[in-house]
Amino acid sequence: MGPELLLVALALLLAYANGANDNFKGVATLYGSGAAGYRGALAIGTAATFAGCVAAIFLAHGLLAAFSGRGLVPDAVARAPVFMQAVALAAAATVLLATRLGFPISTTHALIGSLVGAGLAIAPDAIDPGRLVAGFVVPLLTSPFVAIVAGWLLYSTLHALARRIGVTRESCVCVGERRFVPVSQLALEPSFDITVATKAECVQKYGGTMLGVFAQGIVDVLHRASAATVSFARGLNDAPKLAALLLAAQLAGVESALFSTALAMAAGGLLHARRVAEMMSHGIATMNEGQAVAANLATGALVIGASLAALPVSTTHVSVGAIAGGGIVNGTTRWASFATIALSWLLTLPIAAAIAFAAAKLL
């Protein structure tokens, strides 16, 4: 296999790994709050992510340039086939390992670690530390904290507004043919069968009206729309980073590279998203739908803004931070799980760098 075809194969493997680890993150709140089942949420996430990848053809050329490696290392190094091969191989291996273990890590982190590791192996004195810190490290380190604050503030505001206009939460049980009925209305039911259900089926729904419309109906629409927005934002932000590797092979144009990346990401998510889905949906915080909507809105706004500004933030960091921030309001954030995820983030950079360094030497 020639060096260009090897790079294409490794780049598509990385896109597949990215889809497996990341595609469900945008719709984790749908599954975690019981608003949708695993397959339904995954279908929404896959379709919206694909749409974001296509939109990147027109909107995200800045990220394509940032993740080519140019500026971080000399152009001669960035153009070397062995450099990009080592980057793709190391990032793919790191993300696949995390996916197998169920950790929602950042493909952006894995790529940055791989760029540095491969650069050190080929030209150890050529890494630009100023570019590395300002262009990559600072946005990645600050984005989780910004997301925590954004999720906390947005959910607090929406929660206070809902109480002010008389929208309340009611505990529901599943009766008959999976129909959710508020506990307060069970006495009004002429006949029903109550069965032992999974925790996801015993949920809280919203009572009251907003502008003459049932509040729960509005929340359902907002929840699905905001989850799709996050998935769209993830495709917009991640696809250019991965397509940059395909462009380095000089066998495809921008449109072909992004479209191929989108297909590989979709396949990875559809086939191997389950373990990360469980961690994102149920491991970080216990979510009600209002909290889920707030987390999605905060994540979507931050990631789309960063994509348009060519800032390489991690959708994973932003999404996890926003979910945790909303959980602070009602005391449901599981900080032990959050700490475990944060540790996996810290380990991503050195692991990816070490694999890339070794791969570059071997190649």
Closest by Cα among 109, 107, 119 to 80:
119
**Is 92 contained in some domain?**
yes
Q: Model confidence over 131-149: pLDDT tens digits?
A: 677 666 777 777 788 888 8
Q: Give CA–CA dist 188/195, Å, rounded.
A: 18
**Is 170 contained in some domain?**
no
- CA distances for 265 relative to 36, 47, 297, 311, 352, angstroms: 22, 11, 23, 21, 20
Q: Give CA–CA dist 185/189, Å, rounded.
A: 7
Say which residue the tokens 């729960």 belong to. 216
Report residue 261 CA to chain centroid gap.
Answer: 16
Taking every pair of Cα atoms in the chain, the longest distance, rounded to a whole number of angstroms, is 78
Residue 209: predicted pLDDT? 64
Do residues 230 and 303 lie in contact, with contact meaning Cβ atoms separated by under 8 Å?
A: yes
Q: Which residues contact 13 (CB under 8 A, 6 or more apart)?
A: 88, 92, 264
pTM: predicted TM-score of the whole model, two decimal places = 0.75
Residue 336: predicted pLDDT? 83
Say which residue the tokens 């990848």 belong to. 53
Residue 200: predicted pLDDT? 47
**Is 261 contained in some domain?**
yes
**Is 266 contained in some domain?**
yes
**Is 90 contained in some domain?**
yes
How many structural domains does the chain have? 1
Q: Side by side, which strands form the sheet with 168-175?
A: 179-182, 168-175, 204-207
Q: Model confidence over 204-257: pLDDT tens digits?
A: 666 666 666 676 778 788 889 988 988 998 888 788 878 877 776 676 677 788
To which H or E segment does residue 179 belong? strand 179-182
Domain span at residue 292 reads: 3-151+228-362
Give me the residues of the chain with pLDDT under 50, please: 197-201
**Is 336 contained in some domain?**
yes
**Is 292 contained in some domain?**
yes
To which H or E segment does residue 204 belong? strand 204-207
Residue 92: predicted pLDDT? 95
- Residue 180 burial (CB < 10 Å; 0-12/13-18/19+)? middle
Do residues 313 and 237 lie in contact, with contact meaning Cβ atoms separated by under 8 Å?
A: yes
Q: Where are the alpha helices (DSSP H) in 102-191?
A: 107-122, 129-132, 138-164
Say which residue the tokens 């600072």 belong to. 138
Residue 35: predicted pLDDT? 80
For 26, which DSSP code? G
**Is 279 contained in some domain?**
yes
Do residues 9 and 81 lie in contact, with contact meaning Cβ atoms separated by under 8 Å?
A: no
To which H or E segment does residue 182 belong? strand 179-182
Q: Where are the alpha helices (DSSP H) in the chain?
A: 3-22, 28-32, 38-59, 61-66, 75-78, 81-101, 107-122, 129-132, 138-164, 215-248, 254-272, 274-278, 289-308, 315-330, 335-362
Do residues 122 and 359 lie in contact, with contact meaning Cβ atoms separated by under 8 Å?
A: no
Closest by Cα among 266, 332, 269 to 295:
332
For 205, which DSSP code? E
Helix (H, G, I), strand (E, B) or coil at 82: helix
For 185, which DSSP code? G
